[in-house]
Amino acid sequence: MPHLTLTIPTTTINFLPIPRNPRFSSFLIPLLRSKMASSSSSSAKMIVEYAKSGRSSCKKCAKPIPASALRLGLVTRDARGFDMTKWHHLHCLPFSSDSGASPEAIKGFSSLKSSDQEELKKLMKESTKALDKVSDGDKDSSTETKGFEVHGRADDENNELEERKVKKKKLFVPDKGGELEIAFSASDIKENYKDAKLLPQWRAFQTIIFLERADGLHDSRKIAAFDFDGSLAKTAVNKIGADAWSLMYPSIPEKLQRLYDDGYKLVIFTNESNIERWKKKRQVAVESKIGRLESFIKLVKVPIQVFIACGLSNGQPEDSYRKPKTGMWHIMEKHFNSGLEIDMDHSFYVGDAAGRPNDHSDADIKFAEAIGLKFYVPEDYFNS
């Protein structure tokens, strides 16, 4: 039976063993935290429901949540003032999350099966007893409890495993600061990217190139976002040209058409440092990348908004638009979506750079995490 350790800035409290329920054990820590840090409970709410489809993915492990499976959602308000829901498997619920003070306070609880309700009630009763023991030993402590973290042996083992998996990968750390601010002006939009002339309807702003407005494209609160190379198109770094690509998965045209018909706006966010790196062949790099994107859009027959980050990965200062930086998303959201508030619960991002053993980096998953989007790897999304 595991012990949990509560780490506070200047002191450490060891919990007594807490009985674990195989299905709802991840509720224990959120309940303890909501009791001891009630000031933060107003900033996060918990909902519970049975997954309506198999398309949602877990915010922590990025694996799909099966249809009809019980899932937990953490509803938080981000820096922009928007509410967004992050779904989790029961065993993946982050330890730092908040929850209601009673089962009835959790939205959706009344809709659960009676067996699931009783099991949840039992767990919460057990957690209350453990809390009382912690409180008795903490009465004389004057240490603030704001922002504490809870660690378990299983988490340490999982963290070590993940570190080994990505040891040789190029990893990125998302911004820890506040909301990204970019000074955007229509007068700064150019028809050339430095010394390279862009194709019609393509424009440049700072170190990004974007497709100004595709015919039939509609702005939407629901965003279906995708990486390009390795996710939608099979490409090779040693091949150039507008035709040097092939469709990554046969189901892509049908899937994209279905999303478009369901009211999603389709957006591609892609890095292409060759445009910046090939100073003597920049026009070739521009025409190769844009040519592939235009050929892809023509093939799938669905209007798509496109943003290309041209900055270097090792540039100093760091490029604000190159993934995992969120500059491309910021530009789309603030200036190219008619001011619509994005529905983060229904929006998602698909990319192949997820930090797995054979991935070239984890830029895509970090990009999604920094924004707060559900994340899928392309083989799961397009083969499901």
Q: Where are the domains of the chain?
A: 4-165, 186-383
State how far the Cα of 177 lies from the Cα of 318, in Å rounded to an integer: 14
Q: What is the mean pLDDT of residues 256-278?
A: 96
Fold exhibited by the domain 186-383 = Rossmann fold (3.40.50)
Q: Which pLDDT score, from 0 to 100, does residue 258 have?
A: 97
> What is the three-class DSSP state of 202?
strand
pTM: 0.57
- In the chain, where does DSSP find H-type helix? 28-36, 38-41, 114-136, 153-165, 252-261, 274-277, 282-300, 327-335, 363-371, 378-383
DSSP 117: H
Would 4-165 and 186-383 be classified into the same CATH topology? no
Q: Which residues contact 53 (CB under 8 A, 6 or more apart)?
A: 67
> What's the CA dihedral at 326, 328, 329, 333 to 10 degrees?
140
β-strands 70-77, 83-88 pairing: antiparallel
197 closest CA partner among 267, 285, 312, 103: 285
SS (H, E, C) 323-363: CCCCHHHHHHHHHCCCCCCCCCCCCEEECCCCCCCCCCECH
For residue 4, with 0-12 CB atoms within 10 Å meaning exposed, 13-18 middle and 19 or more buried, which class applies?
buried
pLDDT digits (tens, 9 = 90+) for 170-222: 444 444 434 556 778 888 999 999 999 999 999 999 999 999 877 889 999 99
Could you tell me the pLDDT band of residue 249, with boundaries at 50, 70 and 90? very high
State how far the Cα of 245 lies from the Cα of 235, in Å rounded to an integer: 5
Could you tell me the pLDDT band of residue 233, with boundaries at 50, 70 and 90? very high
Bridge partners of 306? Answer: 268
Rg (CA), the chain: 23
pLDDT digits (tens, 9 = 90+) for 299-354: 999 999 999 999 998 866 789 999 999 999 999 999 999 999 999 999 999 999 99
Q: What is the mean pLDDT of residues 89-114?
A: 70
Interhelix angle 282-300/252-261, nearest 10 degrees? 70
State how far the Cα of 41 lies from the Cα of 48, in Å rounded to an integer: 16
208 closest CA partner among 278, 276, 279, 277: 276
Burial call 175-186: b when 16+ CB within 10 Å, e when fewer? eeeeebeeeeee
What are the structure tokens assigned to 145, written together?
Answer: 């409890």
Q: What share of the chain is helix, strand, coil (3-state, %, to 5)?
A: 30, 20, 50
CATH of domain 4-165: 3.30.1740.10
Bridge partners of 246? Answer: 234
